[in-house]
Amino acid sequence: MRSSLFFVPACLALTFGCGVHAQSYDFSIDQEASSSELNFSLSVPFSGSLIGNYDADKNPEGTQTRSGIFGGSGNQAIPYSATFGISGSNQTVPLGDFSLDVDRPAGSAVMSGLLLDILGGQTEQLDATMTINYETFRSIDPDSIYFGGFDIPIPLGSVDLLLMNLTQTEDATLLLTVEDGATTLTGVVIGELMVQVMVLEQDLGVFTLPALFPIQAGLVENENGAELLVQSSLDLSQTIPAADVPFENLAFELPTIIPPGEFASVLVSGSTEEGVISGLFSLAMIADADNPACPEDPDLNGDGLVDGMDLTILLGDWGAPGGPADINCDDLVNGFDLSLLLSSWSV
């Protein structure tokens, strides 16, 4: 046994100063301690035709639309152009998680796997309007004249913002600085912003847009884990590509103009053009990570003794990024683990 231990002090002296490897954390956002503000607007132009929902067999009492003031006869399609818009300002409670590998000697940290649910699993309501410009027409049931050639704003009430998620698409290396004992992380996370809106009981689908999410955070580490305090804002300004598939026969109640007070039931068909999202998402977030319990068990082969067999296993794994021989759970088999093993040597 003496021959086995003879070189240990020399090995310890040569390697004990190699330092601590990067510390890994799995963070979850503390919803009760986090908040955000969402200022959001969306504008999508579209064009096509509208027609009354009259059907001689299925809906003989429905609305008919006829081109011009006098209208002719039959149920006729009326060309239109329009812009749909939603806007609002909402307080939200974000939800999400991510991983962080902190390498203090290198002055950096790597953030990965960020999934941020900006709405916190909730549905937010926004105000909706439509501005429409059509050719002059009249309606039958109800009887009304719609003078065209100019923009007419129509309030649509509230629409549902179903989804707004930020998903990280590649690892982000953050700069780690220490000043007056405080650790700060700064950098940019590259990801995708996914937005989903429900309008008039119609799901407009999920818009997926590129996003750059700046990070400025204070990091506090202790024996129990870590806490990350994030202050950030995300510019939501993006263009929305036109939908690949046109929409058909979307039911809509069009307010009468002359005389007012009634609604013409029409079916709207058309296609969208490139739209615009704008706004700002401001975040004040606290995320927590617990250190997993470390057994610090130097009996590596589980025979009830700490002896040369365990020492052989440790030396065989020297320099490995974790594993059974990583007794202190710092993701590196080195002199710290050797010290723990020797201090527990069986008599």
Please indicate, yes or no, whether residues 11 and 112 belong to a single structural domain of this protein: no
CB 71 within 8 A of CB 140: yes
Decide if 219 is inside a domain: yes
Specify the 3-state DSSP secondary structure of 151.
Answer: coil
On the 0-12 / 13-18 / 19+ scale of CB atoms within 10 A, 139 is: buried
Q: Residue 69: which domain range?
A: 34-290
Please indicate, yes or no, whether residues 72 and 118 belong to a single structural domain of this protein: yes
Please indicate, yes or no, whether residues 252 and 204 belong to a single structural domain of this protein: yes
Specify the 3-state DSSP secondary structure of 26.
Answer: strand
CB 234 within 8 A of CB 189: no
The 10 Å CB-count burial string (b at 16+, else e) for 214-245 is ebebebebeeebbbbbbebebebebebeebee
Cβ-based neighbours of 56, under 8 Å, separated by 6 or more:
none
Decide if 27 is inside a domain: no
Q: What is the pLDDT of residue 321?
A: 79
Please indicate, yes or no, whether residues 227 and 327 belong to a single structural domain of this protein: no
Say how many C-beta atoms besides its own lie within 10 A of residue 302's C-beta. 9
Please indicate, yes or no, whether residues 139 and 114 belong to a single structural domain of this protein: yes
Cβ-based neighbours of 244, under 8 Å, separated by 6 or more:
none
**Rounded to an integer, what distance in angstroms lies between the CA atom of residue 273 and that of residue 288?**
43
**Rounded to an integer, what distance in angstroms lies between the CA atom of residue 300 and that of residue 331?**
16
Please indicate, yes or no, whether residues 254 and 300 belong to a single structural domain of this protein: no
Strand locations in the chain (E) = 23-29, 35-52, 64-67, 78-92, 95-103, 108-117, 124-134, 137-140, 144-146, 152-168, 172-179, 182-199, 202-222, 225-235, 238-240, 247-255, 263-272, 275-290
Q: What distance, in Å, lies between the first and last C-alpha atoms of the chain?
A: 12
Decide if 29 is inside a domain: no
Please indicate, yes or no, whether residues 236 and 339 belong to a single structural domain of this protein: no
Tens digits of pLDDT across the chain (347 residues): 443 443 344 344 334 444 445 678 899 999 889 988 989 898 999 999 999 999 999 999 999 999 998 878 899 999 999 999 999 999 989 999 999 998 888 899 999 999 999 999 899 999 999 999 999 999 999 999 999 999 999 998 888 889 999 999 999 999 999 998 899 999 999 999 898 888 767 777 788 888 888 999 999 987 778 899 998 888 888 888 888 889 899 899 999 988 999 999 999 999 999 999 898 889 898 999 987 667 788 999 889 999 999 999 999 999 887 788 888 887 788 988 898 998 899 86
User: What are the contacts of 181-184 at 24+ separation with CB within 8 A?
Assistant: 182/218, 183/218, 183/219, 183/220, 183/221, 184/216, 184/217, 184/218, 184/219
CB 195 within 8 A of CB 169: no
Copy the structure tokens of residue 90: 């909402």
Q: What is the pLDDT of residue 266?
A: 97
Q: What is the pLDDT of residue 177?
A: 95
Placement of tokens 């990801």 in the chain:
191
Residue-by-residue DSSP string for 289-338: EEPPP------TT-SS--SHHHHHHHHHTTT-SSSTT-TT-SS--SHHHH
Decide if 105 is inside a domain: yes
Copy the structure tokens of residue 28: 């979850």
Q: Which of 247, 273, 290 is the last residue of a domain?
A: 290
Specify the 3-state DSSP secondary structure of 144.
Answer: strand
Spatial CA neighbour of 73 closest among 135, 138, 136 = 138
Q: What is the pLDDT of residue 224?
A: 76
Please indicate, yes or no, whether residues 164 and 146 belong to a single structural domain of this protein: yes
Q: What is the pLDDT of residue 22?
A: 63
What is the domain-level CATH number for residue 326?
1.10.1330
Residue-by-residue DSSP string for 211-252: EEEEEEEEEEEETTEEEEEEEEEEE--EEEPPPSS-EEEEEE
**Rounded to an integer, what distance in angstroms lies between the CA atom of residue 189 and that of residue 201?**
34
Please indicate, yes or no, whether residues 58 and 207 belong to a single structural domain of this protein: yes
Decide if 250 is inside a domain: yes
Decide if 140 is inside a domain: yes
Please indicate, yes or no, whether residues 270 and 188 belong to a single structural domain of this protein: yes
Q: Report residue 338: phi and psi, to 5°.
A: -60, -40
Specify the amino acid at residue 340.
L
Q: Which of 256, 271, 290 is the last residue of a domain?
A: 290
Please indicate, yes or no, whether residues 243 and 311 belong to a single structural domain of this protein: no
Decide if 28 is inside a domain: no
Q: What is the pLDDT of residue 4?
A: 41
Q: What is the pLDDT of residue 197?
A: 84
Decide if 26 is inside a domain: no
Specify the amino acid at residue 74.
G
Domain count, the chain: 2
Cα 57 from chain centroid? 48
Please indicate, yes or no, whether residues 310 and 188 belong to a single structural domain of this protein: no
